[in-house]
């Protein structure tokens, strides 16, 4: 967790390099959406819990506890919807957030390929994407780190710890 | 001497070469992640959870503990040199520490922080040695009612005392409790909230929640600052504080040890709050309060001593009550469960080797911390040059492969990535993952003890108030809920009356 | 009509800065000091300290200082030169073997080839 202590006299960042404090309207909208999602979730799980059977207080059914938690969740989320004023903790989704989207998609792809074609190729591919594509490292750095890391991971997990990772190299 | 024989036997455990090695490894890793951008101690411990599977329990916990208190010191380095606190617990250190660095006294600030950390940590271990068995003995009589109240109190305190909005934290806690109910009902065996998925029938593994929210979430978040500006290479100078520095800091270190130890025990207190309180205490008791913010060495010594003392004493509620006091301790709790150890009042008696081994390893860890931190500062400064673009893919791969090795299951990878995305979004909209993870860990304990007490009291909620300890804790809970809004309204009215 | 210098906090950078100060005085042109630093790390060796530059430039000389975070040094220098319609770019040139240049690629080479104004390439005095 890194937080930045504001320092006087330092010029503001131009290109949105640091987290940008959003406008009040933006923050308010963001807060409302962020509270509506758990609110909706709470309603759904509340209904599901109810149908599981609540039982009585002296002999609680499987649904009683999840129902109680769902109700608490809906109530706090509702409070947050009502008190949606900016708190200063919100951050704008800038174009840097696109990097996060690409990264998250690549991780899903990694998991999809992991068991099918072994871990080596997806690992190299993920490293190249993150180093070169997201990080704009030089090619030399990218190649060295990608191949080196994959070799180290192979030695560590497959050879060293004896974990049966799906792999294609027959050592 | 019946009390001391297990304590001394614990030293025997620590001095086994394997345990010494893991202690050294933990402290070194801790200092590194404290320095490195983007990863906190909670995330690091979460990421390393799968690795600890293959290590013997005592050694595993010794290593994780080393990471935790080592990181407290590592965070100081970036705080002082760059005004970028690596950890939340070093935020106040940045105020006077960085000012000292600008005056060319970075070395003194880092040196006094290391010495303060060592003293604070050591004082806290000594106090822990005496307090922990007492608390454990007291807690032996706790029944389901007490545990219900205690777990509730723990979750509430973490939500109210933590950073950020209380309502948001409580919402996160309810999400954590709800996630904990996924899977089979502990008593009846009915499957709950699994959405028909067989993979979710066993519930969500704590490792996945911790690694997803803390590990993947923080890494994804750090990707946004790949283009962040770099600072010029700082100069450190001599790291050994002068006699005058030591003399000026004596009082601050003493007070910091005390503040840190006490606040560390309280749920939700922990290192961050104790460092802030210690700073306030120093400012108040100082002969020259006007020097604070302009490079007062007490403003570094006090908080840095306190955060290490608190990091140590926050092990007390975890090891004696089985109630983690903060998010990092929640992950430590998960690590213990992974090893088949349930922390609680019986731990001191049933597993004295583990208990005293871990506690006594902290002496060694603190000595290692002091011995290594000062000579190695040059290396830490070099580490600051590692770009996030290189660090992020390496850590994410260790996380992805690590989570797979737990159950050899790709579903866990998907689940972790999903939780990681949730963790990233939470960070963007100002929700803390700490209360969620803590509530998730305590969820099943809370539910089962609540249901058992309801049976015991035959459905009468008032039954809780028949148990003196449970009643006291519940009154404390009520006070926490009622007092802050009440005092806020009172203050508002007074201000209105004054205007 | 500006003299722009690519400054890096090392001996070569300081030599380049000295020449740029002299050239600016000679031409009576405004001086612009540009520092291109590598983004993404806490600390970077190519990032200049504002205080340090203050100490390097004589007090009588007025100058404009800009810090850009970019991986591509050549691109950043060329863009800044164009933006301030520079009449001269001053850069430091490392002594390197032809083979070294071939492998590493060279920001200096790109600036020399693509700049729209004269470029003064300064070498570090041999020890």
User: Last residue of some domain: A93, A124, A141?
Assistant: A93
Is A10 touching B (CB cutoff 8 A)? no
Q: Above 70 in pLDDT, residue A155?
A: yes
Q: Is the ipTM of this complex over 0.90?
A: no
- Is C40 in contact with B228 (Cβ distance < 8 A)? yes
User: Last residue of some domain: A93, A116, A149?
Assistant: A93
- Is A5 in contact with B410 (Cβ distance < 8 A)? no
Residues 6+ apart with CB under 8 A from B268: B154, B157, B158, B159, B160, B161, B162, B325, B326
Residue A7: which pLDDT band, with cuts at 50, 70 and 90?
A: very low
CA-based Rg of chain C, rounded to a whole angstrom? 14
**pTM to 2 decimal places:** 0.85
Contacting residues of C for B385, CB less than 8 Å apart: 41-45
A112 domain residue, yes or no: yes
Q: Above 80 in pLDDT, residue A20?
A: no
Residue A12: which pLDDT band, with cuts at 50, 70 and 90?
A: very low
Residues A62, A81 within the same domain: yes
Residues A49, A81 within the same domain: yes
Per-residue pLDDT of chain B (499 residues; tens, 9 = 90+): 467 788 888 888 888 999 999 999 999 988 888 887 667 778 888 888 888 877 888 999 999 999 988 887 888 888 888 887 767 788 889 889 999 988 888 888 999 999 999 999 999 999 999 999 999 988 888 888 998 988 888 888 888 776 667 889 899 999 999 999 998 887 777 888 888 788 888 889 888 999 999 889 989 998 888 877 788 877 777 778 888 888 889 999 999 999 999 988 877 667 788 898 999 999 988 888 888 888 899 999 999 999 999 989 999 999 998 888 888 888 999 889 888 888 889 998 888 989 999 999 999 999 998 898 888 888 888 888 888 888 899 999 989 998 998 888 899 999 999 999 999 999 898 898 889 999 999 998 899 889 888 888 888 888 888 888 888 888 888 887 777 777 777 877 877 776 6
Total count of domains within chain A: 2
Residue to test with chain C: of B83, B232, B383, most C Cβ within 10 A: B232
In angstroms, what separates the C-alpha of B106 from chain A's closest C-alpha?
17
Is C26 touching B (CB cutoff 8 A)? no
A70 domain residue, yes or no: yes
In angstroms, what separates the C-alpha of B336 from chain A's closest C-alpha?
21
- Is B455 in contact with A58 (Cβ distance < 8 A)? yes
- Is B458 in contact with A58 (Cβ distance < 8 A)? yes
Residue to test with chain C: of A4, A136, A139, A142, most C Cβ within 10 A: A136
A9 domain residue, yes or no: no
Residues A33, A84 within the same domain: yes
A15 domain residue, yes or no: no
Its domain, for residue A41, covers 24-93
Residues A89, A100 within the same domain: no
Q: Give the pLDDT of residue B462.
A: 84
- Is B429 in contact with A115 (Cβ distance < 8 A)? no
User: Last residue of some domain: A93, A116, A139?
Assistant: A93
Taking CA–CA distances from C71, the nearest residue in chain A reads: A136
Residues A36, A72 within the same domain: yes
A46 domain residue, yes or no: yes
A171 domain residue, yes or no: no
Secondary structure, 3-state, C110-126 = HHHHHCCCCEEEEECCC
Chains in contact with chain C (at least 3 beta-carbon pairs closer than 8 A): A, B
Smallest Cβ–Cβ distance between B164 and the set A48, A52, A89 belongs to A89
Range picked from A142-146, B150-154, C5-9, C96-100 for highest mean pLDDT: A142-146
Residues A79, A100 within the same domain: no
Is C40 touching B (CB cutoff 8 A)? yes
In angstroms, what separates the C-alpha of C38 from chain A's closest C-alpha?
10
Residue with tokens 């704008």: A92
Is B222 touching C (CB cutoff 8 A)? no
Residues A78, A107 within the same domain: no
Smallest Cβ–Cβ distance between B229 and the set A17, A119, A130 belongs to A17
């Amino acid at each position: 967790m890194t937080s930045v202590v504001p320092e006087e006299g330092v010029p503001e960042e131009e290109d949105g390099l640091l987290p940008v404090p959003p406008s009040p309207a933006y923050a308010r909208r963001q807060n409302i959406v962020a509270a509506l999602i758990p609110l909706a979730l709470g309603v759904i799980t509340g209904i599901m819990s109810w149908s599981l059977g609540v039982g009585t207080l002296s002999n609680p059914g499987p649904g009683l506890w999840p129902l109680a938690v769902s109700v608490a969740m809906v109530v706090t989320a509702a409070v947050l919807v009502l008190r949606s004023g900016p708190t200063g903790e919100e951050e704008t989704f800038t174009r840097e957030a696109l990097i996060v989207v690409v990264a998250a998609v690549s991780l899903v792809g990694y998991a999809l390929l992991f068991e099918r074609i072994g871990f080596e190729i997806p690992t190299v591919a993920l490293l190249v994407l993150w180093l070169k594509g997201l990080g704009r490292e030089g090619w030399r750095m990218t190649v060295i780190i990608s191949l080196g890391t994959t070799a180290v991971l192979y030695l560590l997990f497959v050879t060293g710890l004896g974990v049966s990772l799906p792999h294609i190299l027959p050592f | 001497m019946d009390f001391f024989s297990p304590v001394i036997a614990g030293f025997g455990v620590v001095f086994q070469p394997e345990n010494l090695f893991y202690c050294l490894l933990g402290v070194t890793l801790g200092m590194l992640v404290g320095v490195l951008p983007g990863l906190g101690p909670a995330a690091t411990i979460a990421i390393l959870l799968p690795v600890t599977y293959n290590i013997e329990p005592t050694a595993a916990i010794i290593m994780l503990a080393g990471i935790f208190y080592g990181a407290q010191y590592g965070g100081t380095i970036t705080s002082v040199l760059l005004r970028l606190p690596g950890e939340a617990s070093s935020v106040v250190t940045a105020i006077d520490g960085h000012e000292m660095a600008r005056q060319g006294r970075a070395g003194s600030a880092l040196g006094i922080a290391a010495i303060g950390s060592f003293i604070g940590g050591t004082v806290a271990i000594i106090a822990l040695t005496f307090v922990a068995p007492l608390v454990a003995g007291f807690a032996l009589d706790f029944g389901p009612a007490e545990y219900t109240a205690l777990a509730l109190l723990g979750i509430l305190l973490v939500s109210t005392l933590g950073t950020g909005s209380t309502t948001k934290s409580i919402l996160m806690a309810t999400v954590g409790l709800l996630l904990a109910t996924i899977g089979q009902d502990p008593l009846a065996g009915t499957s709950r909230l699994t959405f028909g998925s067989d993979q979710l029938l066993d519930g969500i593994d704590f490792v996945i929640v911790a690694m997803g929210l803390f590990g993947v979430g923080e890494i994804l978040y750090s990707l946004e600052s790949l283009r962040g500006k770099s600072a010029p290479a700082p100069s450190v100078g001599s790291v050994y504080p002068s006699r005058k520095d030591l003399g000026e800091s004596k009082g601050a270190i003493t007070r910091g040890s005390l503040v840190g130890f006490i606040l560390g025990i309280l749920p939700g207190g922990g290192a961050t709050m104790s460092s802030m309180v210690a700073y306030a205490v120093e400012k108040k008791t100082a002969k020259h309060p006007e020097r604070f913010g302009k490079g007062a060495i007490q403003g570094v010594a006090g908080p840095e001593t306190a955060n290490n003392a608190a990091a140590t004493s926050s092990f007390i509620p975890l090891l004696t009550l089985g109630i983690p006091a903060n998010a990092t301790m929640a992950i430590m709790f998960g690590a213990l469960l992974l090893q088949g150890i349930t922390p609680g009042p019986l731990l001191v008696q049933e597993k004295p080797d583990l208990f005293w081994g871990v506690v006594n390893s902290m002496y060694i860890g603190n000595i290692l911390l002091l011995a290594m931190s000062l000579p190695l500062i040059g290396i830490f400064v070099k580490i600051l040059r590692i770009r996030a673009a290189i660090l992020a893919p390496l850590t994410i791969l260790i996380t992805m492969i690590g989570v797979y090795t737990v159950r050899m299951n790709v579903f866990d990878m998907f689940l972790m990535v999903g939780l990681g995305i949730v963790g990233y979004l939470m960070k963007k909209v100002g929700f803390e993952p700490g209360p969620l993870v803590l509530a998730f860990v305590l969820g099943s304990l809370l539910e089962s003890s609540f249901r058992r007490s309801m049976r015991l009291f035959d459905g009468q909620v008032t039954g809780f108030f028949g148990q003196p300890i449970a009643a006291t804790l519940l009154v404390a809970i009520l006070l926490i809920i009622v007092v802050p809004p009440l005092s806020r309204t009172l203050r508002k009215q007074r201000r209105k009356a004054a205007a | 009509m500006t003299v722009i210098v690519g400054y890096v906090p090392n001996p070569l950078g300081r030599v380049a800065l000295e020449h740029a100060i002299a050239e600016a005085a000679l031409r009576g042109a405004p001086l612009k000091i540009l520092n291109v630093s590598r983004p993404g790390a806490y600390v970077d060796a190519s990032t200049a300290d504002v205080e340090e530059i203050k100490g390097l430039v004589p007090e009588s000389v007025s100058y404009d200082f800009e810090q850009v975070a970019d991986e591509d040094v050549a691109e950043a220098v060329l863009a800044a030169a164009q933006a301030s319609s520079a009449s001269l770019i001053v850069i430091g040139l490392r002594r390197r073997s032809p083979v070294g240049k071939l492998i590493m690629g060279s920001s200096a080479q790109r600036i020399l080839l693509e700049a729209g104004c004269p470029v003064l390439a300064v070498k570090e005095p041999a020890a």
